[in-house]
């Protein structure tokens, strides 16, 4: 149902990645909302897990992952803006990734897929926009990995972006986040069903991917939120047992178990690594030098309780913009819901984004 | 070498645990420093991983895990205090645990070992002290799990403790810490070499236990520390690969790999669960009611950057003491090194502990 509005575009010929590898004619799956008009295109860039299905396309359609934010009359108003969202290169919702068939071998790429960077994701999305006839974006807007991608987009193609919104994203990935993602990847790889990435005939390494998702979920929320929401409430089973569960355990287990039903384990590994490699300053002489390339008007939003992108990383990014002589509008949202707050509190994120796009 | 000074005491007959199970004649391995005199006994309670070897017993002996803090003339002065430290019930350094032989079956307990609580650990250590002729402790001092044990000790045996020092410990375990420990246990259990706990003939589930330790290590330190210490420094291997390593990855890998060389996977599971079950208020009508049993003079030390026992949990515990009409001396240490700071900054923890014991 949510795939009804999915469109596909095939890049003509080989696409060269930052590492120097090439991917033959990669496909990008994407969706659009609204009508392309005069300077009204907005690119939404996704986090690791969401698909391009940001919002429903009508009452009969499934809700999207940012349904509260995107739609007619909403903060990102599809009556006004032509909104584009693409599934990222390396992902598993219709765009070319490790589960895709390599036309050179007629086999799935598996771990033969090249290691990609967020710059590769940006490069392909930029080519898609050219294909769609979008020569200049009103804005690029993203959260989490999407925020990193938005920052890279505005850095790589400054002439193509008027406004930038980066939510819960840093200018470069710091070691705490690398550590958290390393253990998630190791969880996938520890599952014997992963089989070195060659599992497609046998089925997903569900146990390992679920565990990875549980670890990720811990980093997406916060201690205070969970203390208030779950406390020490007991769910079921014997107290003095390994099987008995606190409510927080039941919650995590649910988050973990549903994940392999929609997400490919190898895609997870590739995008996880791409985020580790995120560094605006790479080959650009420093963070402020990189940021000085950006001409888009920047809005940066962070969350006080975010443990994955803690406030000091938002400050670092804001400082880079200041050092580049291009001060950003910086908003710190003071809620307990951590990294995922942009999904949970549209009332706090919507107004500043709406104002930034519209002004 | 470090076992030269290890002594063993066997509990006479069955030991009944909080769950109602019994353990037949459990052994406790322990070490002592100094001479028992008049009201000069100090019990040090350990965290999850350390053995009873807190400090060396002389220049020829191996350093202990709190060597900087414990010894002649040091903050916990073994010239003045008779210091006792025991390996916990359920552990793997000589005290009875899941790797021990069950006298009833002549086989290792494995997962037939009963689920234990910190109250069981306290009960057995109290019996050890009675055996040693210690009728009243000058103080019980512990950090991390040892801090929880110290709090339980002072609650269960108020007439036996004059002073209490609880470092980086909460009055009850909160859901964020339960979540972090759940994923660690799941990592062990995901390793096929764990074999449902029945691995002793085949060797440790090293990959799973290493991964668990890596996850734990993330929770023991802090983002700011690692950003300053490692940044995005690259260690070795290709940048665009899964094998290439940032310095933080190399550090985590080292922490993980050495752990199964000294620690038993099943002990890890049992003590991890015992910490989840930590709750001074259990069967006592509430946290303040539980704390009101304590007559020992309390010193509580927390760390601003601790993500495992964050400041709000220290405040909660302090509030419980205040509500019980027994205000604690509360110190918040402002360093970037997180939960493990008591191991890394003896200059900050030593003076208040020394003063609290001596005054």
Distance from CA of B139 to the nearest CA of A (A): 30
Q: What is the pLDDT of residue A242?
A: 97
DSSP H helices in B16-143:
118-131
A307 pLDDT higher than 70: yes
- Say which of A75, A144, A170, A267 is annotated catalytic: A144
Nearest to A312 among B183, B208, B224 (CB): B224
Per-residue pLDDT of A107-158, as tens digits, reads 999 999 999 999 999 999 999 999 999 999 999 999 999 999 999 999 999 9
What backbone phi and psi angles, to 5 degrees, belong to B263? -125, 135
CATH architecture, domain defined by A7-172+279-358: 3-Layer(aba) Sandwich (3.40)
DSSP for A280-319? Answer: TTTTTTSHHHHHTT--SEEEEEEETT-SSS-HHHHHHHHH
Radius of gyration for the alpha carbons in chain B, expressed in angstroms and rounded: 20
What backbone phi and psi angles, to 5 degrees, belong to A263? -125, 140
Asked about B306 being catalytic, the answer comes back as yes
* CA nearest to B228 within chain A: A175
In this structure, the dihedral spanned by the alpha carbons of residues A305, A311, A317 and A321, taken in order and rounded to 10 degrees, is 100
pLDDT band at A286 (very low <50, low <70, confident <90, very high): very high
Which chain B residues are within 8 Å of A232, Cβ to Cβ? 172-175, 279
CA distance A45 to A142: 5
CB neighbours (10 Å) of residue A347?
Answer: 9
Per-domain residue ranges for chain B? 7-171+280-358, 177-273
- Say which of A339, A340, A341, A356 is annotated catalytic: A339
CA torsion sign for A68, A72, A73, A78 is positive
Please name the fold of domain B177-273. Rna Polymerase Sigma Factor; Chain: A (1.10.1740)
Whether the complex's predicted ipTM surpasses the cut of 0.95: yes
DSSP for A4-35? Answer: TT-EEEE-SSEEE-TTS-EEES-EEEEEEES-
What's the predicted TM-score (pTM) here?
Answer: 0.97
Q: What is the pLDDT of residue B4?
A: 79
* CA nearest to A113 within chain B: B241
Nearest to A269 among B114, B242, B248 (CB): B242
Asked about B339 being catalytic, the answer comes back as yes
CB contact (8 A) between residue B240 and residue A207: no
- Say which of B267, B339, B341, B356 is annotated catalytic: B339
From first to last of its 359 residues, chain B has per-residue pLDDT tens of: 457 799 999 999 999 999 999 999 999 999 999 999 999 999 999 999 999 999 999 999 999 999 999 999 999 999 999 999 999 999 999 999 999 999 999 999 999 999 999 999 999 999 999 999 999 999 999 999 999 999 999 999 999 999 999 999 999 999 999 999 999 999 999 999 999 999 999 999 999 999 999 999 999 999 999 999 999 999 999 999 999 999 999 999 999 999 999 999 999 999 999 999 999 999 999 999 999 999 999 999 999 999 999 999 999 999 999 999 999 999 999 999 999 999 999 999 999 999 999 97
Q: What is the pLDDT of residue B161?
A: 98
The answer to whether A49 and A23 are in contact (CB under 8 A) is: no
CB contact (8 A) between residue B192 and residue A187: no
pLDDT band at A4 (very low <50, low <70, confident <90, very high): confident
Q: Give Cα B357 to chain centroid, integer Å.
A: 20
* CA nearest to B186 within chain A: A211
Q: Would the CATH topology of B7-171+280-358 be identical to that of B177-273?
A: no
Using CB atoms within 10 A of its CB, is residue B323 exposed (0-12), middle (13-18) or buried (19+)? middle
Task: State which H helix or E strand residue A344 sits in.
Answer: helix A341-344
The answer to whether B139 and B162 are in contact (CB under 8 A) is: yes
DSSP for B27-52? Answer: EEEEEEES---SS-EEEEE--SS--S
A1 pLDDT higher than 50: no
Question: In chain B, how many H helices and how many E strands?
Answer: 11, 16
DSSP for B201-257? Answer: TT---HHHHHHHHHHHHHHHS-HHHHHHHTTT-EEES-SSSSS-EEHHHHHHHHHHH
pLDDT band at A42 (very low <50, low <70, confident <90, very high): very high
Distance from CA of B112 to the nearest CA of A (A): 11
Query: Considering chain A, what percentage of its residues have pLDDT values greater than 90?
Result: 99
- Please tell me the total number of residues recorded for chain B in this structure: 359
CB contact (8 A) between residue A273 and residue B242: yes
CATH 3.40.50.1820 fits B7-171+280-358, yes or no: yes
CA distance A206 to A202: 11
Query: Considering chain A, what percentage of its residues have pLDDT values greater than 70?
Result: 99
Per-residue pLDDT of A68-114, as tens digits, reads 999 999 999 999 999 999 999 999 999 999 999 999 999 999 999 99
């Amino acid at each position: 149902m949510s795939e009804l509005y999915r469109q596909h575009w095939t890049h003509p010929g080989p696409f060269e990645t930052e590492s120097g590898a090439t991917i033959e004619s990669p496909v990008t799956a994407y969706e659009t909302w609204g009508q392309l008009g005069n300077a009204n295109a907005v690119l939404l860039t996704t986090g690791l897990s969401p698909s391009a299905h940001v919002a429903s396309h009508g009452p009969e359609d499934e809700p999207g992952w940012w349904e509260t934010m995107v739609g007619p009359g909403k903060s990102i108003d599809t009556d006004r803006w032509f909104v584009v969202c693409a599934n990222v290169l390396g992902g598993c919702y219709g765009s070319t990734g490790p589960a895709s068939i390599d036309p050179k071998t007629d086999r799935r790429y598996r771990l033969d897929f090249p290691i990609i960077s967020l710059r590769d994701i940006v490069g392909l999305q930029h080519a898609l926009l050219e294909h769609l006839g979008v020569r200049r974006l009103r804005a690029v807007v993203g959260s989490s990995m999407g925020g990193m991608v938005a920052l890279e987009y505005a850095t790589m193609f400054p002439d193509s972006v008027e406004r930038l919104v980066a939510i819960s994203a840093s200018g470069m990935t710091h070691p705490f986040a690398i550590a958290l993602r390393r253990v998630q990847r190791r969880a996938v790889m520890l599952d014997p069903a992963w089989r070195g990435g060659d599992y497609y005939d046998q089925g997903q390494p569900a146990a390992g991917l679920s565990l990875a998702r549980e670890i990720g979920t811990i980093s997406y929320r916060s201690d205070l939120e969970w203390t208030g929401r779950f406390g020490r409430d007991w769910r079921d089973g014997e107290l003095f047992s390994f099987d008995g569960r606190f409510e927080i355990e039941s919650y995590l287990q649910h988050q973990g178990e549903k994940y392999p039903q929609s997400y490919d384990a190898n895609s997870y590994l590739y995008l996880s690594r791409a985020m580790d490699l995120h560094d605006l300053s790479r080959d650009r002489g420093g963070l402020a030098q990189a940021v000085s390339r950006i001409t888009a008007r920047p809005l940066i939003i962070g969350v006080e309780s975010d443990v994955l992108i803690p406030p000091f990383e938002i400050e670092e990014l804001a400082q880079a913009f200041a050092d580049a002589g291009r001060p950003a509008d910086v908003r710190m949202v003071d809620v307990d819901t951590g990294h995922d707050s942009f999904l949970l509190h549209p009332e706090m994120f919507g107004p500043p984004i709406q104002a930034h796009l519209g002004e």
